[in-house]
Amino acid sequence: MLGVAVAYGSVWALRTFSGDALPRPDAVRVDAMTLAFTAAAVLVTAVLVGFVPALRATRRSLAESVRDGGRGAGVGTRQRATQGVLVIAEVGLSVVLLVEAGLLVRSFDRLRRVDAGVDPSGVASMLIVAPPARYTTPERRNAFFDRVTEQVAALPGVTAVGLCDCLPPNQMRTTTSLFIEGASQNIADLPLVNAAHAGANYFGSLRVRVLGGRGFTPADRLGSAPVAVVNRTLAAKLLGASARGTEALGKRVSLNGTTWRTVVGVVDDVHYEGLATAVVPAIYVPVAQDPEPGQNLIVRVAGDPMAAVPAVRRAIAGIDPEVAPSYVMSLEGTIAESLVGERFNAALLGTFAAVAFVLAAVGIYGVVAYGVTQRRREMGVRVALGARGSDVVRMVVAGSLRPVLVGVAIGLAAAVASARVLERMMYGTSVHEVDVYVVVTVGLVAVAAAAAWLPGRRAAGADPMVVLRGE
């Protein structure tokens, strides 16, 4: 009954704090089928736990019982073997869960530290769409977006405003073939690149580093010479540039094979396909030279970016009441949201591992304490014959650690095998993270030793005459 109560509370917490990690949170619930299955599992377990020893006891002969234990002598050989198997299984499963949880937590920590290529602090983003029915020409769309950026930039606390149809860390709308002047123009040979439309101050608003040349300016608009900015990966892989990419400046590229653009700048890599995905070649063209109706408005402020959103909404409504920003969020929140799945996996498996760790400690303590109780007469005889208390404690701990070490060895082998299944869920983490295995091993052995030490210390402190008289 206590477990059912905990289950209801856990499901509530899971649905409340999982965010978007669960695609159908309403479907996660404790229903009649779940309770029936749990009740059946508990009943079968209880019957087996009681029935198997009882059946074994009925099959034992008197001579065998006397030989194994005698009156109050202690635990029989088969019983010790059974207890050892239980400890091995419990420790082995705990090792598997703890290792996998450790690997996932390490993977999430490394993923969280990945540089997205931008500075998200103080940045809010929102999607604004110029209605195509009224902004029918590129000139009208340019005029609308120019007024929006001017009005928003003039708001108190706003330090930079930019436009782009992409948004880090996982929003890139277009993948296209890239024509490079002087290279093969065969369609089959063209490299695939990410393509984005960016405004004049997009790189400045996100503090994307310009490695060489320049970013876009207000002069890059309809009627001016077509230009482009490329990321460091494209400059290095496709244009033969060095780390800073300056060799790519002045080269000409095209997205359609007809409009050739001069590369005027090289910027640092930005993640647009998720933090766990390697950056691919990307090219930016000016929004004002090819204005699309929908653009992400990037607003950098001094302070809380979401506090500036109402003023931004009012500014846009003053320009066109029919345009309402959507998908409004802070860039820090966007990046955090992109990691919801990884955070959820690490937290869920970590919770199971923590429960397994506690159960292993309690289980080892219970088995050892029961075994020591069954061997009270033996302990009393040992002490009566001159054994010191420390000898008794050492004997109990050493005997208890043998199945624990076997369980750890089996668990480590199983953990290596099972962790390979998790490799697709891990970032920058392999199944051979030795320190994770070492920490799990040392931690479990230490807990097992402590769990065995307590009943051993109690047995060593007992008065042998009292124990023998009771027997």
Q: Which of the residue ranges 13-17, 88-92, 401-405 would you say has the lowest mean pLDDT?
A: 13-17
Does 126 have pLDDT greater than 90? yes
Residues 170, 335: Cα–Cα separation, whole Å: 8
Residue closest to 238 by CA, chosen among 252, 259, 224: 252
Residues 6+ apart with CB under 8 A from 393: 453, 456, 457, 459, 460
170, 272 contact by CB (below 8 A)? yes
Residues 6+ apart with CB under 8 A from 199: 145, 149, 162, 163, 164, 216, 286, 287, 288, 295
Q: What are 339's two structure tokens?
A: 């990691």
Does 15 have pLDDT greater than 70? yes
φ/ψ (deg, to 5) at 212: -160, 150
Q: What is the pLDDT of residue 434?
A: 92
Q: What is the pLDDT of residue 169?
A: 93
Q: What angle do CA 66, 67, 68 make, to 5 degrees?
A: 95
Q: What is the pLDDT of residue 455?
A: 82
**Strand ranges for 103-173 from DSSP E:** 123-129, 158-164
pLDDT band at 82 (very low <50, low <70, confident <90, very high): confident
Q: What are 147's two structure tokens?
A: 């007024």
Give me the mean pLDDT over the 227-231 stretch. 97
Q: What is the pLDDT of residue 428?
A: 87
Q: What is the mean pLDDT of the chain?
A: 88
Residue 92's alpha-carbon distances to 67, 117, 194, 336, 406, in angstroms, are: 32, 42, 47, 35, 8
> What is the share, in percent, of the chain residues with pLDDT greater than 90?
53
Give me the mean pLDDT over the 358-385 stretch. 78
Residues 243, 214: Cα–Cα separation, whole Å: 16
Which one-letter DSSP state was computed for residue 171?
Answer: B
Give me the mean pLDDT over the 277-294 stretch. 94
Q: 27-46 b/e with 16+ CB inside 10 Å = b? A: eeeeeeeeeeeeeeeeeeee
Does 72 have pLDDT greater than 60? no
Residue 19, SS3 per DSSP? coil
The alpha helices in 113-209, defined as continuous H runs, are: 138-153, 202-206
Does 73 have pLDDT greater than 50? no
Q: What is the pLDDT of residue 71?
A: 47
Burial class (CB in 10 A: 0-12, 13-18, 19+), 82: middle
Question: Which pairs with CB-CB distance under 8 Å and at least 24 residues apart come from 130-137?
Answer: 130/293, 130/294, 130/320, 130/323, 131/293, 131/320, 131/322, 131/323, 132/293, 135/293
Residues 389, 459: Cα–Cα separation, whole Å: 8
375, 75 contact by CB (below 8 A)? yes
Q: Which of the residue ranges 28-32, 35-39, 65-69 would you say has the lowest mean pLDDT?
A: 65-69
Q: What is the pLDDT of residue 359?
A: 83
Q: Which residue has the tokens 């429960």?
A: 355
Does 343 have pLDDT greater than 90? no
Does 70 have pLDDT greater than 50? no
Residue 6, SS3 per DSSP? helix
Residues 6+ apart with CB under 8 A from 66: none
pLDDT band at 392 (very low <50, low <70, confident <90, very high): confident
Give the residue with greater pLDDT, 312 vs 397: 312
Q: What are 326's two structure tokens?
A: 């959507």
Give the residue with greater pLDDT, 406 vs 84: 406
Would you kindly state where each structural domain of the chain is located, as residue ranges?
1-59, 75-115+339-471, 131-322
pLDDT band at 60 (very low <50, low <70, confident <90, very high): low
Q: What is the pLDDT of residues 232-281, one digit of tens each?
A: 999 999 998 887 788 999 999 999 888 999 999 999 999 999 999 999 99
Residue 11's alpha-carbon distances to 15, 30, 448, in angstroms, are: 6, 7, 31
Give me the mean pLDDT over the 286-296 stretch. 94
Give me the mean pLDDT over the 102-120 stretch. 92
Does 387 have pLDDT greater than 90? no
Q: What is the pLDDT of residue 23?
A: 65
448, 415 contact by CB (below 8 A)? no
> What is the share, in percent, of the chain residues with pLDDT greater than 70?
93
- Is the omega angle on the peptide bond into residue 169 within 30 degrees of 0, that is, cis? yes
Give the residue with greater pLDDT, 420 vs 161: 161
39, 3 contact by CB (below 8 A)? no
Q: What is the pLDDT of residues 408-422, one digit of tens each?
A: 999 999 999 988 888
389, 461 contact by CB (below 8 A)? yes
